[in-house]
Structure 1
Amino acid sequence: MAASLLTRINIAIGRFEQLIDLTLGRRYPPGAFCLAGTAVDRFPQPPRFSLKDVLGDGFLWAVPKHRRSIEKRLKRKFGHPDYVLKIMKPKTNLRTCNVCGDDHEAGVLCPTCYKKVMDETKAMQEAIQEELKLEPVEKEVVVLYEGEKDEKPDETFEGKRIVEVKKPRPAWFSKNLLQQTTQKPATTSDVKPSDLG
């Protein structure tokens, strides 16, 4: 009876050793964890296991122990039909653009109208690249559309580099956007309003 009990305990300890070998990647001599009454004296003392030896100066992060099932992932993403179905929630923050009539979210620029701005900006950048190549830009660059150079006297373009785009100016692209401000910069560093309270 005692012999079979010792045999079972030795088998359990052997399995424990194999588990430590697999998890830590270390090779302990066989029988390193055997019972005190068995052949302990034949083997040298195993090195003491220390978590500090494994981690060094690092630290352990908390990680999930189990994989989240596909059903739970889909419930988190789309909701559950008996409770809250996230797919079926209607959007209430849609607005209609006053210019083109397309729908877009509130607080967001209309993507259809902004696409025109992006295309025009790209065309202007390409025209500047063709005209100036890779030369350094040391003077102010003025982009003019067809017929705009004749409308102003030549003195307005002195000391500036002119890039002409060979197409008429779009109706939505105002000339006033290109004008510099007429206000003089502030000379004081005071922030207004001051002396409140």
Structure 2
Amino acid sequence: MSLSTFVSRVNCAFRNFERALFGALTGRYPPGEYGVCLDYALDSPEINNKNTKNKSILEEILGDGFLYAVPKHRRTIEKRLKRKFGHPDYHLKILLPRKDLVSCNTCGDDHEAGVLCPTCYKKVIEETKAMQEAIQSELKLEPVEQEVVVMYAGEKDNHPEEFWKGKRIVELEKPRPQWFSDNLLQKSTQKGSDSKDVKPSQLG
């Protein structure tokens, strides 16, 4: 037997002895696994309790903790691209040019087709609030039994006095905006009908 073989066998024997001694003292390995037994190790209650539990090294490290689930397989390139950009048949996440925008003929701002221009409508909202505040400051909490007419500066003289009979006039101390035509405040020319029939009828 050569010297190198002898040295390797001695090293292997010392390793086995070291592992058996470590297992007998700590309880992680049964004492008789490597043929080494210690009398005082079996009498220790701490080591006996560890042997009866039969916990693994991972359980001793984690204790009462838990491990999160991790993916076992890598996602394919197709799935990764679908998650990132979507799919044209379902939900497409990429930015596409909008084709339903039109330009307003009044202010020139772009807005969605079939929807009022938000810039122009904002002017209508501000003007309506001004009219409501003027009516509230003029009439206050008194009951209104007559027709209320909102007039701008210099418009009262355009109609005769008979036109204002039986009406409550609320004046705004500013000129009428160019976009706010006087026809918008006029009543409809259609007369109310006294008929109670619901049309269309006799469809059955």
TM-score by length of 1: 0.54
Whether 1:153 and 2:155 are equivalent positions in the alignment is: no
> What secondary structure sits across from 1:86 in the alignment?
coil
Letter of the aligned partner of 1:80 in structure 2?
A: K
The percent of aligned pairs where both chains have the same amino acid is 67
Q: Out of 159, 175, 187, which is 2:182 matched to?
A: 175
Structure 2: runs of 5+ lacking an equivalent: 1-52, 54-81
Question: Aligned pair in 2 of structure 1 residues 135, 80: CA closer, same or farther (>3 Å)?
Answer: same
Bigger helix share:
2
Question: Structure 1 unaligned runs (5+)?
Answer: 1-7, 9-77
Q: Distance in 2 between matches of 1:173 and 1:82?
A: 47
Q: Partners of 2:199 and 2:141 in 1: how far apart?
A: 44
The 5 Å alignment of 1:28-107 reads 80-81=84-85, 83=87, 85-107=92-114
In structure 1, distance between residues paired with 2:163 and 2:99: 51
CA RMSD of aligned residues (A): 2.5
Q: How many residue pairs align between the two structures?
A: 122
Structure 2 residue aligned with 1:119: 126
Query: TM-score, normalising length from structure 2?
Result: 0.53
Q: Greater CA radius of gyration, 1 or 2?
A: 2
Does the 8 Å contact 1:79/1:87 carry over to 2?
A: no
In 2, Cα distance between equivalents of 1:109 and 1:120: 16
**Does structure 1 retain, via aligned residues, the 8 Å contact 2:153–2:175?**
yes
The Cα shift of 1:195 comes to 5.0
SS in 2 for 1:95: strand
